[in-house]
Structure 1
């Protein structure tokens, strides 16, 4: 806890100010129950352990060695912070108000030249090991086992809505129909639309603007429109890339129960929103963080 700002951020992926903000959030919900035995792990150490865990792919043995606690304590701390953070999802990821929609629409008009666009939608694979029950459902078309994350982001690359947990075999369009957002899209969208890829083509998704399929006979106007949509839609792909690059645990969630997988992914989205800064440049990938070849096309 004596590190300078640059070193602290490099190790824990957050600034000191962001760390203090999370610490205050946790203090409001942490249950202080100590019935003897070894001293309770300080809250700031719990948070540092959690950020290290979700920002890296180290094992619990390595985590316990680094923070000088037992493996069982490390398990307990990570689960405790996961549960608290996920219970506060609405504080970090929420649907925009009307004036925020208008602000996003103006920004997207500048970015891609299309009016009345308030966000972009896409799906993302999160790699897992084959589940014991109905494992075949999680084998995706890329040839690995995964769960899906559906994200709707604004022009700044911040999540406005997430839906986590469908098996990797599920198509993006079906995932959208299964999401809580779909049942209330008319109320939430109003006069605005989202940008999406060709997976969302069809009359069931009038609120998603998609490119026309290139059958070799597109007009110059249609090709230009497709390019505009792609220019705006790339924001959601970049968001997934930045999230996976900063919170590296979600690159590959092996040896983890599915309910915990869902909480880890949701927590990564929460932390992404906390740290999201469109001007922030990744030291390792100044041209944009890769998604490691997991695109859901």
Structure 2
């Protein structure tokens, strides 16, 4: 039992704790804020990057393009499309940051991957404000551009148009796109444990994409956790669900070249499907299978180049994105839709040496500039061998026979013999 003396001591300690708590709360209320914001941040028009960009626009347009990854005209056109969604109202406390500065800060963040704390020195915008502005602007970019610049085909005519481009440019018939996926590095999400920890031993979300013959994304899925089986990621996408349910409205075999299945091409990481073609395993390849793999790789080259290009243009992809998954998702989606926008509207976005190209005389594929810069993003892990439906195997055999017969191109055997494929 407690003695009277101990009871008095305990009561005194309790009162002391309560008094200390009340005093601390009162002090916080009475404490005046040293300053609302730093003086140099208030003088953004003087100390931010606006004066620099004005100078670059007028006298060094190439440096302007390098700074924001787009030329002046393309930036102005993009701002015109997005401006009404970026406008914020002024308050009695401060003037709102204008749309052009919001867009510039976001584009610079995507181009460099610099931290908010670092970016504040060039933008003269506080890290706290950047943490709100940049994810919001990325979401606006995606939402406002996706319907026109990331449009998924819905009709047989649209699918046939994509297939015609693959046939004309890469000698591959009935192809609706090249499919691939990449791991995008992120910081460990709070409370997620090892859920996003991938086979390369870092935390990531997966970017799954379908690319047409013009190096444009026509479908992207972002956000699946990096720990998920790489070969199985596609099976959890809306694209694969609709493909499995025959709900993509693909041309049927009466409408395709040589009455073969309409297909999508991919690498070894994916499972064979009656509408998905992948290479034959490297083990025990004969001459005919090597020709098939060569023809497939020519068509699949477009998705490698699309990923390589966005990695070289948007360096945020080479950092560890320090945002929660929902915000990181919109960072990636904005990059993909911006890539398509720039692909169509900026003549300087891609030059003659940027992407892989085929030598017209030797027919060898010459690597683009992006391959020299070591900007590749981590690929999905190779698929574990599993049972494949007979129909899917037969479909691949049908394409092999086509490439050896009616679909033969003059130089394919020469390329195999030279070891170029």
* Structure 1 counterpart SS, 2:248: helix
* Structure 1 counterpart SS, 2:241: helix
Deviations 1:2-53 (A, max 9, x none): 2243111111001223212221222232353222222221211111111001
How far the C-alpha of 1:254 sits from its partner, in A, is 3.7
Q: Which of 184, 200, 221 is the equivalent residue of 2:242?
A: 184
Worse overlay, 226-235 or 205-214: 205-214
Whole-angstrom distance in 2 between the partners of 1:125 and 1:175:
11
Q: Which of 105, 112, 119 is the equivalent residue of 1:63?
A: 119
Q: 1:253 to 1:70 in 2, by over 3 A?
A: same
Whole-angstrom distance in 1 between the partners of 2:290 and 2:264:
19
**1:232 matched to which residue of 2?**
299
1:16 is aligned to 2:40: no
When normalised by structure 1's length, the TM-score is 0.89
How far the C-alpha of 1:78 sits from its partner, in A, is 1.2
How far the C-alpha of 1:282 sits from its partner, in A, is 4.4
* Structure 2 counterpart SS, 1:135: coil
How far the C-alpha of 1:255 sits from its partner, in A, is 2.5
Contact 1:240 1:291 in 2 (8 A): no
Whole-angstrom distance in 2 between the partners of 1:189 and 1:215:
36
Deviations 1:35-72 (A, max 9, x none): 22222212111111110011112121221111122222
* Structure 2 counterpart SS, 1:139: coil
Q: 1:278 to 1:219 in 2, by over 3 A?
A: farther
1:211 is aligned to 2:211: no
**1:133 matched to which residue of 2?**
191
Unaligned runs of 5+ in 2: 1-52, 252-261, 344-348, 356-367, 382-421
Q: 1:291 to 1:207 in 2, by over 3 A?
A: farther
**2:82 matched to which residue of 1?**
26
How far the C-alpha of 1:99 sits from its partner, in A, is 4.2
When normalised by structure 2's length, the TM-score is 0.65
* Structure 1 counterpart SS, 2:281: coil
**1:292 matched to which residue of 2?**
376
Q: Any residues of structure 2 matched to 1:264-279 within 5 Å, and which?
A: 264-276=331-343, 279=351
**CA RMSD across the alignment:** 2.3
Deviations 1:141-181 (A, max 9, x none): 22222110000000111100000011112234321111111
How far the C-alpha of 1:293 sits from its partner, in A, is 5.9
Whole-angstrom distance in 1 between the partners of 2:380 and 2:236:
17
Contact 2:195 2:227 in 1 (8 A): yes
Deviations 1:89-126 (A, max 9, x none): 33321113544433332232244432111210001110
Indicate the structure (1 or 2) with the bigger Cα radius of gyration. 2
* Structure 2 counterpart SS, 1:198: coil
Contact 1:152 1:159 in 2 (8 A): yes
Whole-angstrom distance in 2 between the partners of 1:28 and 1:181:
32
**1:90 matched to which residue of 2?**
147
Worse overlay, 154-163 or 65-74: 65-74
Unaligned runs of 5+ in 1: none
Report how many residues are paired. Answer: 293
* Structure 2 counterpart SS, 1:164: strand
Whole-angstrom distance in 2 between the partners of 1:127 and 1:287:
20
**1:196 matched to which residue of 2?**
266
